Structure formats: structure tokens, C-alpha cells
Structure 1
Amino acid sequence: MSAAAEPHAARHSALPLALLGWATGALFFFYAWILRVAPSVMIDELMRDFAVGAAAIGNLSAFYFYGYAGMQIPVGLLMDRFGPRRLMTVAAAGCAAGCVLFALAPALWALSLGRFVIGATAAFSLVGAMTVAGQWFPPARFALLSGLAMMLGMAGGVFGQAPLRLLVEHLDWQQASLALAAGGVVLAVTAAATVRDKSRAAGGLRQVMAGMVQVGRNRQTWLIAIAGMGTTGPLLGFAGLWGVPFLALTQGLDRTAAAGITSMLFIGWGVGAPVLGWFSDRIGRRKLPFVAGLMLAAAAMAGLAWAPGLPLWAVSVLCFLCGFGGAGQILGFAAVRELNPPAAAGAALGFVNALVTGAGALYQPLLGWLLDLAWTGEVAGGARVYTVTAYSTAFSVLVAGAVVGIACTLLMRETRCRQSA
């Protein structure tokens, strides 16, 4: 075999394991999304068992995002320096520990701590999958592979709605949380067996931090991150928490059926992420499909917020379109990687993911606070009941966030799917 053929053969022999490693990261993101949305199908039980209102539940759910968003920049730096294998293994086990703490919590503070631990360790999921994709596959495949990972994440969001609600009804929310902990243990073992590190950054903390400073000083990084926040609002604020009680009120559905309708937003996102990723790679553009996706998401969210009397089929379509358009966020990850130095790729991805996911920590408690502000005092089954007007007013914040995202995306520099830094 010639010298030129040997590296080619080595690449092909490594490809199956690289695919398994990427798939493990994508499954980790699937699992992380189940955990992310789980409180949305436990709202009534948590309000009843801990005697709290919407603001408290919004804050409880947001502790996931405090941990997740707060860890994103460290995760990016750690991925650049140490590679994904050990980090993803320990993180999956940490998710399992957080689920156990959540299930056995005697008080609201312990529930919040469990959510924080889950979020902080789930932070390694998507960045881990994208790190494996970036290390082992060519740049022209990055948006597609990242989109497919995002698709699996959205499938987790769907599973965390109606199917998880059925599990909660069959068992209870504590036992369901313990069942989720078992999934983290399985993922930890799988990550240790399949994920491999192709490269690690040289140098110490000073050199790694220099890459972070470079990422933070890049105006394009901030524009992409804020645009990504505009896509996240409907996903986390509506489908991830408050959409279920809203649809139960406006459509007369039980919680399981309402969760099934909100799942259409996750399905739309899951379909849109690989489709938009493939389309972007195909046409060699990041900006155009990103802008179009945000416009679609903003229009669909406006329909959901301001036209609550629509027939159920129309609500389902709007949820799907909102998710499909919001999936353009994946192009932001591809663009920020191309607009920052390769040695700081993990830091750039982590920085954007910190703000994108941190939107959940902003939107979920903010919406809960706005709902409590408009509460008329009505209670049913120990849980507060909010009016349609209160929900519509609160969801206006999500529409505004998407509009701001459109403005930022219009200012983003086109990379033409090439490394430009």
C-alpha cells in the first residue's frame, strides 16, 4: 500500500467508530431534552405537592438552564483542551445523579438543586456531539450532522411530553424521575465505549483562555448568540413549559393531549434542523436560511399567542412551523464555528449555546412572573388557573425576542460555509 493510501485507509477504518461516537453524543442530547422539558408534564403535581404557584415552577424549571447555560463556556474550553470522551462519560453519570436528587427531594430547594445538577451535566451533550462531528468529519458535513443531533434532541422533547406524562400518570413524578436516572447510567457506559478523542488543544489554561477572549471580542459571535436566543424562546418558553396549560385552557384538552400538541413544535424543529442544515451546506450559505427560519418562527409564534381561538389543526400546524423555522438556529452554530479560529471552536460553540440555552432561564420565570401578575385568584385542584389574556400577554415576549433575532441575523456576516477566521 502506498504512503498516500495509508492515511486514507486509516480514515475509513476510523469512520464507523466516529459515527458511533457522534451517535452517542446525539443520544445524550435526546436524553438531555427529555430532562429539560420534564417539569412541563408535572406542573400540577409539583404545584400541589409543594404548594407553589407559576412563578415558583418557572424558577424551578429555570434552574436547569442556570446550570446548563452557566456551564457552556467551561464546557467549550474543556472540550478544546481535553476532548469529549471522558467529559461526556462523567456528565451522563452526573445527569443520573441529578435525577435521583430531584426524585427524592424533600423540599423545593432540593428540587431546584437537582434541576441545577441535571442542567450543568447535560451541558456536555450537544457540544459533545458537535465536537465529535467537528473533529472526525469534514466542514461540509458539520451543519448536517449538527442538524441530525438537534433532530434527536427534539425527539427527546417529544418523548418528554405525552409519553412521559403517561409514565407520570402510571407511576408518579418521583418514580418517573428515577426511571430517567437509569437512562443516564446507560449513556455513561455507552460514551466510555464509543467516544474517542481525535485531537486536544496544546498548551495550558492561559492559551485556552486566550481563545475564549478572542471569541468574546468577535462581534459576529454576539450577533449569532442573540439571534439564537430568538429561536429558543418559543421552544423553551412555550413548548418547554407553559404551552401545555395554555392549550389545556384554550382547547379544552387534558394534559396528555395538550402535551401531544405542543410536541408538534419539537417535531417541526426535529425535521427542520437536518433539512435546513443540508440546505445550507448545499447552497453554500448560512445567513439566508437562518433569516428565513427566524421570520417563520416569529410569525407562527404570533399566531399561537394572539389567536387562541384557532381550531386544533391550525394550532398543530403553527406549532410545527414555529419549530421548523426555529431550527435555523443550527446554522448559527455552523456560522460561529466558521467565524472564529479552529483552535477555539469549542469555546465558540459553548459561548453561543450558553446564551441560546440561557434564554430558557430568562423566558420561563419571566413568563411565570407575568402570569402571576395577571392571576385573578382562581384555583382548581390546588393549582392556580390563569386567563387566556394573561397567557397571550406573556407570550408576546417570545414574539418580541424572535423579532430581535431577525435584526441580529440580518447583521451577521455570510461565511459561504467556509472557515473564514
Structure 2
Amino acid sequence: MIQAIDTPSAPAVPRAALLGFGWLLCALFFLYAFVQRVAPSVMVDDLMRDFAVGGALLGNLSAYYYYAYAGSQIPVGVLMDRFGPRRLVTIAAALAGAGSLVFVMADGLWLASVGRLMIGFGCAFSFVGALNYAALWFPPNRFATLSGWAQMLGVAGGILGQAPLGYLVESVGWRLAVAGLAAFGLALAVATGLVLRDRPRSAPAASAGGLRLLSGLKRAAATGQVWLAAGFGMAMTGSMLAFGGLWGVPYVEQAYDLPKAEAAALVSILFVGWGVGAPLWGVLSDRWSRRRPFMAIGGVLATAGIAGAVYLPGLDTVSLAAILCIQGFGSSSMVLCFAVARENTPAWSAGVTLGIVNGFVVGSGAVLQPLVGWLLDLGWEGSLVAGARIYSLAAYQGAFLILPVTCAWGVLITLFVRETGARPFEE
């Protein structure tokens, strides 16, 4: 059960139910961001045809979301520490909805890229907003649990952005489907503006002790454990964003001779595993007051899962679904990287610390999506269907080799992570 902080020293503390609903709206914004993140995976053929692009350019188009999202995380964190989540999350949701409208109206690659940049920049405030709201209003020993639940809702968005959105795209076309996403983003902006609350400036949590605006950035950047946490999160999330977020659906279509909607449904099992694992890793880690062992176990499962999904011969679809579920479950241990980073830095730098880590986490998509697309283009044998490039199974397997290697790198990082005992940072 979520329990909000309610102390006599904090003036004008809102009711716990209102704070819980506010956190839920922030988490729903992250769900929406995840739908936007993976949406191109069910539009690959349509976007290749309508914009006349190959794998590398399509990877870049999809990755514009990540460029804006990851590149803005540090300033997002600084802004969160300075202004609080209410105004920022509201404006950001509106910007993401407006970006969807731009993407719908695009008749060329450049305008579509502008739309994806707007969506990415708006969505950049989603997960940090949920984490910041949790840090602002809820007890420290609930932080990893709330982070896990936020990840679960986000990954529910990943599931919605696969099979359900795939069916919608096939039924009404990709432009009308994205227009629906625009409407949802604008409605969410209205709701967050009405419900979210910031700490009063007189409250201790918001005062920052007279520190300068960029002091939190300097402190976080000088803390080695923050960078280790960021590296682990990046390694765990990269395969999910590259495979589940873009290239997994066309791979399954090719390897298993399935139509788009069924392939999307199969790939979405990865997000089911992620959605189950994220809150579970958080609850177990908080209960046992341990971070590093759970990170290492999750990293091993993630490495084995993505390697098995691509390279085990003769898999049937049921076995593939099970392996993808394991991969998603293991990768979701990345949620603990936020707790590690926060527990190694003071509370007054929480926003920028979480921004740095989340920038690396989402930045993995900005790197791996176009990299896989470039590798696929290198292995392309010249086959075209309705103007879209078709890649062979061998091309996919060669391009996907980078994914288990990245996960294995995350396992190595856990050897250097300092155990915090789930205790808040003390000066």
C-alpha cells in the first residue's frame, strides 16, 4: 500500500489519496511514453514505404525520440530540482501530444523527425517525474517499490504499443492511430495540471539548503556509483529497446513467417516479463535491503534470454515466448539502478541524479536502434516488398549479436557496485 509522507513540519501537505493519484498520473505518463517509444515497431513497413527509407534511416527516425529523451535528462533533472513536477509534467505531456500531431501530418522524413523529437523531449519528463514525485512525497523505504510499479505501468505501455496498436494500425492506418496517441497526451496534460502538487518552497524538501542550481549536477557527476548505476541500467535496457522497441517484430515476421499483428503479440511477451519483474525486483530489494545481488541475477537472466531468443535453433513460438519473458524479467532489474544512484547522493540532488541515470538508460535505444539498423543494411541482400527492405534471418542474427554482449557488460558492472543496504545517503 502506498503511504505518503505526512509530517507536522511540512506545511499544507495534501491528502494521501490526492498524492497517490498524482503519482499514478505521473506513472501513466510513463506508460504513454512507452507506447510512443515502441510504436514504430508496428509501423516498420508503412514508414519505410511512406518515407522511402531503409533500415538505417528508419532506425534514426525512431531513435530521434531517444536522442531528445536521453539528451535532455540532465537538464530535466536540474529543472525538477528547481521547479518541481507539477508544471513541468503538465507542459511535457502537452508537448508529447503536439509532437504526435506533427508526426501525423508529416509528408517527409524531416517533419516526421521533428515530431519524434518533440515526442521524445516531452516524454523525457515522464519517468523522472514519477521518481521525483515519489522522492518528494513518499517515504525513502518505498522508493524502489514505487520505481518498480512505475516501470510495470511503463511496460504495460510497451505491451499496448505492440499487439493492440498493431491491430489498430492494420485497421485504421498508422496516421489515425498516432492521432489517437496525440489526443491521449493532451488529455493527460489537463489531468496532471489539475492534480499534481509541488512541495511548498518553505518545506525542507524543497529548500535545497541555499545551494546553487547546478550544485546537484556537480555532486552527482562526481559520484562514481552514479555512473556505474547508469551503465548497468543502459546495459539492461538496450536489448529491450532495440529488439522489443523496433526490430523484434520484423525479425519474428521473417523467422517464424507470422503476420505483423501476431508477431507483435509474441514480442510483447518481453514486456510482460518486464512488467512482472520490475515491481518484484523493487519489492525484494527493499525487503532484503540489498541491491547488488538482485542486479547480478537479473543481468544473467537478461543475457541468457536475448541470446536464446535469437540463436537457439528450432524454437517454436511457445518456447520463444517463454525465453522472451525471461529476458524481459531479467532486464527489468534495471529498476534498481535508480535506487543505487539515489542512495549514493544527497536528497537535494535527487532530480539531477535520476536524470543522469535515466539519460543513459534511454540513451541505449538511441545507440542500439540505429546501430542494429546499420548492421542490417550491411547484411541486406537487395530484397524489397512493396518498397520496404526485407532482411534475411542471417542478417538479423549477425546484427543482433550486439545485444547479448551489451547485457553481459551489465553483469560485469555489478561487480563494482557498492551495496547501499537500501539506506538513504548521509552526509
3-state SS of the aligned residue for 2:212? helix
Does residue 331 (structure 1) correspond to residue 336 (structure 2)? The answer is yes
CA–CA separation in structure 1 for the residues paired with 2:339 and 2:187: 30
Corresponding position of 1:183 = 184
**Which residue of 2 is the match for residue 127 of structure 1?**
128
Instruction: Tell me, in whole angstroms, the C-alpha distance in 2 between the residues paired with 1:73 and 1:15.
Output: 30
- Amino acid aligned to 1:96: G
Partners of 2:341 and 2:200 lie apart in 1 by 20
Give the whole-Å Cα distance in 2 for the aligned partners of 1:199 and 1:266: 38
- More off after superposition, 94-103 vs 379-388: 379-388
CA distances 1:215-254 after superposition (whole Å, capped 9, x unpaired): 1111111111111111111210000000001101111111
TM-score under structure 2 normalisation? 0.95
SS in 2 for 1:207: coil
User: 1:388 — aligned with what?
Assistant: 393
Deviation, structure 1 residue 183: 0.3
SS at match of 2:213: helix
Farther-moved stretch of structure 1 (303-312 vs 248-257): 303-312
Q: 2: CA distance between counterparts of 1:232 and 1:93? A: 26
Tell whether 2:256 aligns with 1:251.
yes
The C-alpha deviation readout for 1:15-40, integer Å capped at 9, x for no partner, is 11110110000000010111111110
Which residue of 280, 287, 300 corresponds with 1:282? 287
Question: In the alignment, what sits opposite 1:211?
Answer: 216
Shift of 1:166: 1.1
Instruction: Give the Cα separation in 1 of the matches to 2:144 and 2:255.
Output: 38
Q: Unaligned 5+ residue runs, structure 2?
A: 1-5
Q: Does the C-alpha gap of structure 1 residues 343 and 8 become closer, same or farther in structure 2, counting only changes over 3 Å?
A: closer
Matches within 5 A, 1:67-216: 67-198=68-199, 201-202=206-207, 207-216=212-221
Following superposition, the deviation at residue 208 of structure 1 comes to: 2.1
Give the match for residue 49 of structure 2: 48
Contact 1:89 1:188 in 2 (8 A): yes
Q: CA deviation at 1:156?
A: 0.3
Q: Which residue of 2 aligns with 1:221?
A: 226
Work out whether residues 250 and 309 of structure 1, in 8 Å CA contact, stay in contact via their aligned partners in 2: no
Instruction: Count residues with an aligned counterpart.
Output: 417
State the SS of the aligned residue for 1:375: coil
TM-score under structure 1 length normalisation? 0.96
What is the CA-CA distance between 1:11 and the residue it aligns to?
9.3
Distance 1:216 1:100 in 2: 36
Aligned-pair distance for 1:398? 0.9
Which ranges in structure 1 are unaligned for 5 or more consecutive residues?
none
State how far apart, in whole Å, the 1-side matches of 2:11 and 2:64 are.
Answer: 44
Instruction: Give the stretch that moved more between structures: 10-19 or 116-125.
Output: 10-19
Residues in 2 aligned to 1:356 and 1:229: alpha-carbon distance in whole angstroms: 4
C-alpha distance after superposition, 1:357-392 (max 9, x if no partner): 001000000000000001011112221111111111
In structure 2, how many angstroms separate the alpha carbons of the residues matched to 1:13 and 1:381?
57
Change beyond 3 A, Cα 1:81–1:173: same
- Report how far residue 8 of structure 1 moved: 9.6
Q: Check if 1:311 corresponds to 2:316.
A: yes
User: Amino acid of the residue matched to residue 129 of structure 1?
Assistant: A
> Does the Cα contact within 8 Å between 1:81 and 1:202 map onto a contact in 2?
no
Query: 2:3 is matched with which residue?
Result: none
Q: CA RMSD in A?
A: 1.8
Deviations 1:73-105 (A, max 9, x none): 111111111100000000000011100000001
Contact 2:12 2:200 in 1 (8 A): no
Q: 1:239 to 1:105 in 2, by over 3 A?
A: same
Aligned partner letter, 1:33: F
* Match 1:356 to one of 356, 361, 364: 361
CA distance in 2, matches of 1:381, 1:190: 42
Residue equivalent to 1:230: 235
Q: What is the rounded CA distance, in whole Å, between the counterparts of 2:23 and 2:207 in structure 1? A: 23
